[in-house]
Every structure is written in C-alpha cells, then in structure tokens.
Amino acid sequence: MLFLDSIVEYITTFAPNIAQALLVLVVGFLLARIAAGVSTRALGVAGLNAKIAEMFKVDAADADHMVKENLYYVMMFFVVVAVFAALGVTVLANLMTGMGLFVAFILILALAFFLDLGEKAETVMKKVPR
C-alpha cells in the first residue's frame, strides 16, 4: 500500500509539469513551422534566397528548403529549452540557453557578413567584451 501511495503522489506531483511541457512542445512546434515558412517567404520577397542559392551553388527550391529547415531547427532548439524548463530541469535548460545565445550570436554575425554588412559586423565585434 505504501508503494502505491508513493506512485500516486509522484504522478500527482509531476503531472502538471508534464502537461505544461507537452503544451509548450506542441505550441512551439506549430509556431516554429509557421515562423519558418513566413521567414522563408520574406527572404524570397526580399530576393535573398537567390543570393543564398548562388552562394551554395544550388537551385532556388533547394535554397528555400535549406533556409526553412535551418530556421525550423534553430527555433525548435529554443522550444526544447522551454520544455526542459517546464519539466523543472533547470540545469540543462540554463546550459542550453547559454549555448543557444552563443549560436544565435554567431548566426547573426554570419548573416551580417553574408548580406555584405561587413563594416557593421566588424563594428559589432569590436564592441563585444573579451
């Protein structure tokens, strides 16, 4: 009887966290898919997909797919961080947040260089504390 009571207590204690984590995962998945599609269309309207296709020597459809999938995976990384935070695994969530911010910073700098914003990116790099 004591074992059964401890199982019931464990389930009732963590059920809200699990439900919250599942909700964050589902909503995050949907938002990441939508945002990746919208971002890809925006890049196409701005004419940047042609630049990406030229840079990687692929056709425009492959460039669209590549951009969409990469944006989706970057956004899902942050969704996974939020899921871990909802589950109460704060050590892992904090570690992944730090890694994610570093990766986001590197991606922003790479995008700045790609868009021929070299001088502005160099100015940003000079302001980064060492």
Decide: residue 44, CB within 10 A, 0-12 exposed, 13-18 middle, 19+ buried: middle
Give burial (CB, 10 Å; 0-12/13-18/19+) of 97: middle
What number of other Cβ atoms are within 10 A of residue 43's Cβ? 19
Orientation angle between helical segments 2-46 and 48-56, nearest 10 degrees? 100
pTM over 0.75: no
Domain membership of residue 42 as a residue range: 2-127
Q: What is the pLDDT of residues 53-104, one digit of tens each?
A: 787 787 877 878 888 888 888 888 889 888 888 888 877 777 777 777 777 7
Assign residue 23 the CATH number of its domain.
1.10.287
- Angle value at C-alpha 94, between 105 and 67, nearest 5 degrees: 40
Give the count of beta carbons closer than 10 Å to the beta carbon of residue 76.
Answer: 18
pLDDT at residue 48, as a whole number? 77
Count of domains in the chain? 1
